[in-house]
Chains A and B, each alone.
Chain A
Amino acid sequence: MADNPNPELDYAEAEALATKPKKKGVKRRIFLAGSALLVGGGIFGVWWTDSSVKARGKALTTGDGEHSFNTWMKIAEDDTVTVYSPHIDFGQGSHTALGQMLADELDADWEKVKIEQAPSDLAFANAALAKGFLPEMVGEMVAGLLPDAIIGMMARSLPLQITGGSSAIRFTGEVGMRKTGAAVRAALVAEAADRLGVPAEELTTADSKVLHAASGKSLRYGELAAGAAERSLTGDPVLKTRDQWRLIGKPVPRRDIPAKVDGSAVYGIDFTLPDMRVATISAAPVRGGKLESVDESPALAVKGVEKVVKLEDAVIVVGKGYWPATKGLAALSPTFTDGGHAAVSSPAIYAAQDKLRSGGKADNEGGEGDVDAAFKTAGAKVVQAEYRVPFLHHAMMEPFALTGHYKDGTLTLWGGLQDPLSTRARAAKAAGIDVDNVVFNPMIMGGGFGRRFPDIVEAIDQIAVLAKQVPYPVKLVWSREEDVRRGTYRPQSSAGLKASIKDGNITGWRTDYVQSGNAEGEVPFIYAIPAISRRHFAYQSNQIDGPWRSVNATQIGFYTESFMDELAAAAGADPYQFRSKHLPAGSRHLAVLDMVAKRSGWGSALPEGVGRGIAIVESFGTIVAEVVEASVKEDGSPKVLKAWAVVDCGTTVNPLNAEAQIAGGLIMGLSSAIGEQVTLDKGAVVESNFSDYPILKLADAPPAIDVYFIESGAKTGGIGEPGLPPASPALANALSTASGKRIRTLPLLTQAKA
């Protein structure tokens, strides 16, 4: 592989970072990864070591007859094992999977295992963050909250939770859950050995019992828990080998699903308190604009409206319910400034990006070899193309809904956000109170896709300020219009790609891409090409860019994999064969590509008007290749007929859930490619709701998706995000093949209808 910067932070890199905190470019990369979809809820999961912290953490989680071992788990005398997940589960199934990993190593009876959200308390961050290292990643604000101790241990274990996208399983699970399960199992065995007076080597474990085969005696974990919890746990337990797994790799049903089919699951928007009011909000249409003036009286005249609250850039109406608040807000005619952004529009952004790319100086360059020399080589065929992708909105189905109650100097919050500790920090800052006086109760979430990272959730500020101004609990609910117009989008981005081909091989490749963030180091370039250059040109609009599921791998994947098809065409080669010859022999990438070609029947005849496209993207340590068959409907819109995905994420912890994540990611990728775009005009977002921001529906999704996992046993990769990036280029390639007309701008719908 010519150049494959690994986006992960592993032990060695974490240690290196700890000693070289000023390394240029690191902060941005870590931030991007850290704010990706599956990043966890704070800084949890070390052994109880400090006695005062231990007492506090235990008090939060451990009742009578229960015995805790560390921040991850406790055992009750009735054998119930409770696993505390530091990651928020917004539908990706990581809670169940993390429980599987711990319970497998523990040899626990799965029916007696419960999985709960870890409390958002610093007792669950009971070690210091290495100075000069964690502040780089999480910001001074969070790092400054933590006690200054146990730096080495933290550097070794915890950065892996809070810095990787799609991190729950590959970092928390592998490092925290499995080791904890194995270490506690060893403590239970040691306790049983003493009680039975036999050597530990003669004991085995199964179904939450320690067994002594020779005597036929056994002891339940619940009986052993009290004594075992007093023992020191080994930091280096023996983990099971793959052939010993009982739960890891098995399609265990998710624990959260029953409550999601009978209406009993309580999301943030469902939360209620006695005497609670409901509020809704309208912020400046142009991001950066301020509230100029508003006459409150029309809202106050609406029955059920109680109060109008003015923020610097928004107006809030508080009422007895969402409907009166909404009617009150609709009755207002607030005026806002445009923040000086009146000239910002989507076409103007593309124009500025084109200018930057053609004349400007790159802000970052990655790659190797002499690309310009390759382009000038005699006999080389040079191919160029330009691509454009719009702002994309997360469109989580549950809009922001946060409840706050300010009473006796304490602000208590309820809602769905993906990092409890930084939620508290942001709320404290907005309310002007100490973080110790903010309590946050995380609730389940109706989707997230990167939108619920507290760094980009202004609703936290809004509820904090609002709650301080009213004597009762108040739930702030964003309308869908507010959600669409005040998003933190995947950035609008454009790229110019150029490559040279000689004797059927790519000899040089250049990607010049313009967007806010640098993707170098996050998205690996997987092809073996002698000369490569990837240049980033930084462009910032008036929008706040957010990590959108799979982050930069979506647009970079679209550029790279669309251009691979263009190069294959220029070389007169089949797109699959052409990719194949540029991937190293024996590589995992090639195995994934070959398998998707095999399963999809690549090369077989297709009906008239149907095209087939292929793409392969590595993101978050997982390699995914997808094939899409599609045609064009009579109205010009694309119709996806079939889809295949082949995945190498090393090991699938829960194949049933992993399949759902890959299939769901693929569909989200298709949806974005087909119809989604946020456009700006006069600095404001044009779209307003699902009526003009269309999400793919069932009829337009492939009826079934063939998802296949290659269990390579390689280092565990992420699963929540990597299914998405290959989908849009695979679809664009399929449609381009069918029509003969190359698609270089997304979404397709505007292309097809143009």
Chain B
Amino acid sequence: MAIAFSVNGKPVSVEAEADTPLLWALRDDLGMTGTKFGCGIAACGACSVHIDGAVARSCSVPLSEIAGKSITTIEGLKGADGALHKVQQAWIDAQVPQCGYCQSGQIMAAVALIERVGSPSDAQIDEAMTNICRCGTYPRIRKAILTATGQAAATTAPQGDA
């Protein structure tokens, strides 16, 4: 069956079974691979996208629940002029990614948090940022969120007497 919704502001129609998770419609049917597969059970958050503005784990949301909704993925965060979203820029400034595989989802979760609460506290970051990063970039993720919301300086000054 064909299911219609919008992705990053553009209307799309996907011909797929109704139980197909949004993640696989994005990746296999629409060719948008910025959203990653990590676990398939909504445990890791690598597949995080926004559905009508709220963060969701797309591996566990079937297309049947998506009809008519508005989806935003990592590819849709940039401005119309191609400029990076302030959270993406903060991610570069803080040099967050290592392998980078989870970072699309981390950024989507962070953007949703900031859109929801403005300037999140450490406790709010703890509560909202539940995506897994195996490389252990958590301190820099926290720093980038604080930087993006004007709560920390943008420089990452390494310690040591180098």
> Which residues in A have some Cβ–Cβ distance to B below 8 Å?
90-93, 249-251, 253-254, 256-267, 269-270, 272, 278, 303-304, 320-324, 326-327, 395-399, 444-449, 477, 479-480, 652, 655-661, 663-668, 671, 689-691, 695-699, 701-711
Contact = CB atoms under 8 A, between A and B. Distances in A.
B99 to A, nearest CB: 3
Contacts of B142: 698, 703-704
B100 A265 contact: yes
B95 A257 contact: yes
A261 B35 contact: no
Interface string B124-162: 011101111111111111110000000000001111111
Contact of B99 (A397, A671, A689): A397
B7 interface: no
A656 B94 CA distance: 10
A660 B162 CA distance: 15
Contacts of B97: 91, 256-257, 260-261
A690 B39 contact: yes
Contact of A397 (B101, B159, B161): B101
Nearest to B130: A697
Given A446-B100, A480-B40, A667-B136, A278 B160 contact: no
A701 B136 contact: yes
A264 B100 CA distance: 11
A447 B38 CA distance: 12
B115 interface: no
B136 A668 contact: yes
19 contacts: A91-B98, A91-B99, A91-B100, A251-B158, A257-B95, A263-B34, A269-B33, A303-B17, A444-B99, A659-B158, A668-B134, A668-B135, A690-B43, A697-B129, A698-B138, A701-B136, A704-B139, A707-B160, A709-B160
Given A265-B100, A397-B102, A703-B122, A272 B162 contact: no
Given A266-B33, A397-B133, A690-B43, 10 more contacts: A251-B157, A261-B84, A396-B101, A444-B99, A447-B99, A660-B137, A691-B43, A697-B129, A698-B125, A709-B162
Contacts of A250: 162
Contacts of A707: 158-160
B75 interface: yes
A321 to B, nearest CB: 4
B37 A322 contact: yes
Q: Which of the listed residues B19, B99, B104, B126 has the most CB atoms from chain A within 10 Å of its own CB? A: B99
A265 B35 CA distance: 11
A652 B134 contact: no
B31 interface: yes
Contacts of A91: 97-100, 135
A91 B132 CA distance: 15
A623 B73 CA distance: 42
Contacts of B157: 251
Given A449-B134, A664-B136, A689-B43, A269 B37 contact: yes
Contacts of B84: 261-262
Contacts of B143: 704
A709 B28 contact: no
Given A655-B158, A691-B41, A698-B142, A447 B134 contact: yes
B12 to A, nearest CB: 16
A261 B107 contact: yes
B138 A667 contact: yes
Nearest to B122: A703
Contact of A479 (B33, B36, B40, B161): B40
Nearest to A303: B17
B92 interface: yes
A191 B78 CA distance: 47
A597 to B, nearest CB: 16
Give me the 5 closest cross-chain CB pairs, A-B, nearest first: A263-B34, A446-B101, A91-B99, A667-B136, A260-B100
Given A655-B160, A691-B43, A709-B160, A257 B132 contact: no
Contacts of A661: 98
A134 to B, nearest CB: 30
B14 to A, nearest CB: 11
Contacts of A477: 37
B161 A710 contact: yes
B78 A262 contact: yes
A656 B95 contact: yes
A698 B141 contact: yes
A152 B34 CA distance: 47
Nearest to A267: B101
- Chain B, interface SS category: loop
B42 to A, nearest CB: 9
B103 A260 contact: yes
B66 to A, nearest CB: 14
Contacts of A251: 156-158
Contact of B100 (A256, A399, A480, A702): A256
Given A447-B101, A690-B44, A706-B159, A253 B75 contact: no
Contacts of B141: 698
Nearest to A445: B99
Contacts of A444: 99-100
A62 B118 CA distance: 51
Contacts of A695: 44, 132, 134
B69 interface: no
Q: Which of the listed residues A260, A266, A398, A707 has the most CB atoms from chain B within 10 Å of its own CB? A: A260
B114 to A, nearest CB: 15
Contacts of A696: 136
A41 B27 CA distance: 29
Q: Which of the listed residues B38, B73, B122 has the most CB atoms from chain A within 10 Å of its own CB? A: B38
Interface in B70-110: 73-75, 77-78, 84, 88, 91-92, 95-104, 107
Contacts of B17: 303-304, 323-324
B27 to A, nearest CB: 7
Contacts of B24: 321-323
A26 to B, nearest CB: 32
B161 to A, nearest CB: 6
A455 B43 CA distance: 30
B56 interface: no
B136 A278 contact: no
A470 to B, nearest CB: 17
Interface in B14-32: 16-17, 19-21, 24, 27-29, 31-32
Contact of A270 (B33, B88, B139): B33
Contacts of B130: 697-699
Contacts of B136: 663-668, 671, 696, 701
B46 interface: yes
Contacts of A664: 98, 135-137
B124 to A, nearest CB: 11
B34 A262 contact: yes
A655 B162 contact: yes
Contact of B41 (A264, A304, A655, A690): A690
Given A656-B156, A690-B44, A711-B161, A701 B95 contact: no
A93 B100 CA distance: 11
A720 to B, nearest CB: 10
A634 B100 CA distance: 34
A260 to B, nearest CB: 3
Given A258-B92, A261-B103, A321-B24, A397 B41 contact: no
A249 B160 CA distance: 11
A256 B142 CA distance: 21
Given A258-B92, A397-B134, A264 B98 contact: no
Contacts of A261: 84, 88, 91-92, 96-97, 100, 103, 107
Q: Which of the listed residues B27, B131, B135 has the most CB atoms from chain A within 10 Å of its own CB? A: B135
A703 B146 CA distance: 12
Contact of B31 (A272, A446, A668): A272
Contacts of A658: 158
